[in-house]
Amino acid sequence: MDNYQQKHCQQCGKELTGRTDKRFCDSYCRNTFNNQNKSEGEKVIAETHIILRRNRKILRQLSPMGKATVRKEVLDTLGYDYRFFTGIYRSRQGKYYYVCYDFAFSPINDDRGVKKVIIVQRQSYFDQYIPALWGKS
C-alpha cells in the first residue's frame, strides 16, 4: 500500500513536486502568502520603516557634504514626514535635533520668519548628551 499523498501550494493550489516538506510552488507564492498573513502590528512596523528610510534619503540628498541649511518647503515638497524620527538630541544650547538614523535636522527661523532647517550628519556626541526624560539621571 502506498502512503504517498499529493501536496498542493498553500497559496495557489498548484501541485507540488520536490521536497516532502515543501509548502509553496515558488518564492512568489510564499511571499504573497506571508504578506497576506502578516499581523496588523507587523504591517505598521513595515510602513514606519518605509517612512523612516524615505526621510533619511531626503536628508542625505539635501546634505551631501554632511551639513546644509534648506527651506522647510523643500522638505515638504520632497515628502518629508516630520512625525517619524529615530531619536531626539538636545544640544547644550537647548537646540533640538530630530535624528533619522545617521542624519538629523533642527528647525530654525530667520529674522524675517522664514522657516528653515539645518541638516547635519549624525555626530558621536549626539549619544553623550541625552536629556533626562524622568528627572535627573
* E strand or H helix at 37: none
Banded pLDDT at 1 (limits 50, 70, 90): very low
CA 111 to chain centre: 34
Q: Please write the tens of the pLDDT for every residue from 108-131.
A: 987 887 799 999 998 877 776 555
* Cβ-contact 78, 71 below 8 angstroms: no
C-alpha cell at 85: 524620527
The residue among 100, 118, 119 whose CA lies nearest residue 109 is: 118
pTM: 0.70
Q: Please write the tens of the pLDDT for every residue from 31-53.
A: 999 888 888 888 899 899 999 99
Strand arrangement of the beta sheet that strand 67-71 belongs to: 67-71, 115-121, 103-109, 96-100, 87-90
C-alpha cell at 34: 506571508
Domain ranges in the chain are: 40-127
**Which residue did the predictor score with more confidence, 40 or 9?**
9
Per-residue pLDDT at 82: 96
Per-residue pLDDT at 8: 92
* Cβ-contact 22, 15 below 8 angstroms: no
Per-residue pLDDT at 112: 82
Q: Please write the tens of the pLDDT for every residue from 67-89.
A: 999 999 999 999 999 999 998 88
Residue 109 dihedral angles phi and psi, to the nearest 5°: -120, 135
Q: Which residues pair with 103 in a beta bridge?
A: 100, 121
pLDDT of 9 strictly over 90: yes
CA distance 39 to 37: 6
